[in-house]
C-alpha cells in the first residue's frame, strides 16, 4: 500500500473589492491573453502567494498590482481547496477576502483584462467558473463565520462542492 504524496497546493488569494456604498463589486473580465486559463470569465482579484508573505500581505499586494488601490479594511470570508483546478491539474488553496474600504482610484484595466464595477445582485449573470456560483453567495452573506470549502475539479469542470462554517 503506497502513501499519498504530500499535499502541496498553490496558495493564492481571491479578493472582492466593494464600492464605497457597498452595492458594487470590482470584477476583472479576463479578456486579454488567448492562453489564459480564465479567458472570457469574470473573477475577483488576486493571485499566488510569494515566499516570505503572509496571506493578508499577499492580498494587499495583489489588489495594488491588479487594481492600483490600497486595501484599508478587509475580512477573510473563507478558504477554498480546489484540487485539480490548475491549467495542468494543479491543486490550489485559496483564501477569499472582501475588501470593504480602500484608497486610491481603481484602474480600468490591467495585463489580464478589463476591470468593471458590477452590481452585487447582478454577479450571477456574469460568465464565470461554474464553481464560483456555489461559493460567491457565502462571500457576501450576512453570516460572520468564515466558510471552508472543498471543490474538486477535473478537466476544467467542478466535480463536487462541500463546505463547513465554524
Query: Does residue 41 have a pLDDT over 90?
Result: yes
Tally Cβ neighbours within 10 Å of residue 26.
23
Q: How many domains does the chain have?
A: 1
| 84: CATH | 3.90.79.10
| Cβ atoms 122, 142 nearer than 8 A | no
Within a domain: 5: no
Stated pTM of the model: 0.94
Q: How confident is the model at residue 37 (pLDDT cuts 50, 70, 90)?
A: confident
| Cβ atoms 150, 68 nearer than 8 A | no
pLDDT (0 to 100) of residue 2: 65
Structural domain including 151 reads: 10-165
Query: Does residue 46 have a pLDDT over 70?
Result: yes
Average pLDDT over residues 130-147: 96
Tally Cβ neighbours within 10 Å of residue 13.
26
pLDDT (0 to 100) of residue 156: 85
Tally Cβ neighbours within 10 Å of residue 62.
24
Which residues, 6 or more positions from 7, have their beta carbon under 8 angstroms from its beta carbon? 91
pLDDT (0 to 100) of residue 66: 97
Hey, what's the cell of 65?
498590482
Within a domain: 49: yes
Query: Does residue 16 have a pLDDT over 80?
Result: yes
Q: How confident is the model at residue 148 (pLDDT cuts 50, 70, 90)?
A: very high
Percent with pLDDT over 70 in the chain: 99
Q: How confident is the model at residue 69 (pLDDT cuts 50, 70, 90)?
A: very high
Within a domain: 55: yes
Within a domain: 89: yes
pLDDT (0 to 100) of residue 36: 80
Looking at every residue in the chain, the average pLDDT score rounds to 95
Q: How confident is the model at residue 26 (pLDDT cuts 50, 70, 90)?
A: very high
pLDDT (0 to 100) of residue 5: 84
Amino acid at each position: 500500500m503506497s502513501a499519498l504524496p504530500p499535499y502541496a497546493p498553490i496558495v493564492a488569494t481571491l479578493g472582492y473589492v466593494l464600492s464605497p456604498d457597498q452595492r458594487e463589486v470590482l470584477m476583472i473580465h479576463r479578456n486579454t491573453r488567448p492562453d489564459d486559463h480564465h479567458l472570457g470569465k469574470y473573477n475577483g482579484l488576486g493571485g499566488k502567494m510569494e515566499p516570505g508573505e503572509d496571506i493578508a500581505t499577499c492580498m494587499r499586494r495583489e489588489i495594488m498590482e491588479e487594481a492600483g488601490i490600497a486595501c484599508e479594511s478587509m475580512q477573510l470570508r473563507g478558504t477554498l481547496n480546489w484540487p485539480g483546478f490548475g491549467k495542468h491539474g494543479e491543486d490550489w488553496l485559496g483564501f477569499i477576502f472582501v475588501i470593504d474600504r480602500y484608497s486610491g482610484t481603481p484602474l480600468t484595466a490591467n495585463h489580464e483584462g478589463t476591470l468593471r464595477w458590477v452590481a452585487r445582485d447582478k454577479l450571477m449573470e456574469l460568465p464565470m467558473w461554474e464553481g464560483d456560483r456555489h461559493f460567491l453567495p457565502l462571500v457576501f452573506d450576512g453570516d460572520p463565520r468564515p466558510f471552508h470549502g472543498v471543490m474538486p475539479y477535473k478537466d476544467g469542470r467542478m466535480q463536487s462542492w462541500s463546505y463547513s462554517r465554524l
